[in-house]
Amino acid sequence: MQTAPTPLRLAPHPSPCGPPLDGGVESFHVVLPRRSVSPRGVVRPAEVWRMAQELAVQAACKLGWPPERFRSQHTAFIVAEMTVRHLRELAYGERVVGSTWVQDLRRGTISHRQLQLDATQGPFAVATQRWVHVYQADDGSIHVGRASDALLEAFAPHPRPEPLVELPALPPCAGPRLPPLDVDIWLTWMDPIGHLNHPQYLDFCDEALARAVLARGGDPQATVPVAERLSFRAAASAGDRLRVELQVVGQQGPDLALAATLRRQDGAICCQGTLIRRLEGEDLGLALCEEAVAAA
């Protein structure tokens, strides 16, 4: 006989999402797989995104909308944008609880969902997801449109207003471009609707940065996530080739802001956004700039 897990008792910690969570917010234990951990023993940024995605799915299931119901009604919410702030790095072995709630639902189509990820040592990430409702027409095409009344009723916004998660501001600079990375999309990477899942784009961005760090003689595993925001404009599918382009657009001490663009081989931009990463090592940020100039 299985028993329910003992609730994780979390000490109060300050959070960019506002005051401590109260009633009406959905909370779930999150399983941290070993594959999500880097050689430094901490969780990779894209794995934090996957935790957030799982939280949203579990919350929908609890509201009576599991993936099977969405499929049967030829409807879905897809991620249009996601912003994450990493309050600290999460070590493997910490017990994780995630909390999530719907912030707003505009015109029955666009929804902002807030998420907070906590562990034994306190919160380690907060996020805002922007979801767009889509439906499948009789010819199989996908269109943006208003959700059904049943879906809107289930996803009613939480009554407590909260600020959306924002990126920290870094002093801007007209920095150079890092060497691009070309990635072929595998058939085995497809998500349930046949597209590349959104956390994978962040993996590609961090890989491009890691290769630039390695080319300069730095440790590619020493890059620390601070924050990121990615907006999704077009889908990538199996057989596509994506070019990942990063450009330095801001810097403050060891922190770099990098503008990211990921485009298909046909020129269509699939994803754009900003990554803020802390690059450990003496003047590594400036060295990366010099390396990018030399490569150009």
Highest mean pLDDT among 23-32, 176-185, 216-225: 176-185
What do you get for the CA distance between the two ends of the chain, in Å? 63
pLDDT of residue 290: 56
Among residues 244, 274, 272, which one has the least CA distance to residue 181?
244
pLDDT of residue 8: 35
Percent of the residues in the chain that have a pLDDT greater than 90, as a whole number = 73
**For range 57-63, the mean pLDDT:** 93
Average pLDDT, the chain: 87
The token pair at 48 is 């934090």
Hey, what amino acid is at 162? Answer: E
The token pair at 1 is 């006989």
Among residues 41, 101, 282, 276, which one has the least CA distance to residue 172?
276
pLDDT of residue 9: 38
pLDDT of residue 284: 59
**For range 40-69, the mean pLDDT:** 95
Per-residue pLDDT reduced to its tens digit, 66-84: 999 999 999 999 999 999 9
Q: Residue 263 CA to chain centroid, in angstroms?
A: 18
**For range 29-56, the mean pLDDT:** 93
The token pair at 281 is 């090592």
pLDDT of residue 186: 96
Which of the pair, 33 or 204, is modelled with greater confidence?
204
Task: Set out the domains of the chain in order of their start, with CATH numbers.
Answer: 1-166 (3.10.129.10), 167-296 (3.10.129.10)
Per-residue pLDDT reduced to its tens digit, 15-24: 433 444 444 5
Among residues 204, 227, 218, 231, which one has the least CA distance to residue 279?
218
* Predicted confidence (pLDDT) at residue 14 exceeds the cutoff of 60: no
* Predicted confidence (pLDDT) at residue 294 exceeds the cutoff of 80: no
pLDDT of residue 283: 59
Per-residue pLDDT reduced to its tens digit, 198-256: 999 999 999 999 999 998 888 999 899 999 999 999 999 999 999 999 999 999 988 99
Per-residue pLDDT reduced to its tens digit, 105-155: 999 999 999 999 999 889 999 999 999 999 999 998 889 999 999 999 999
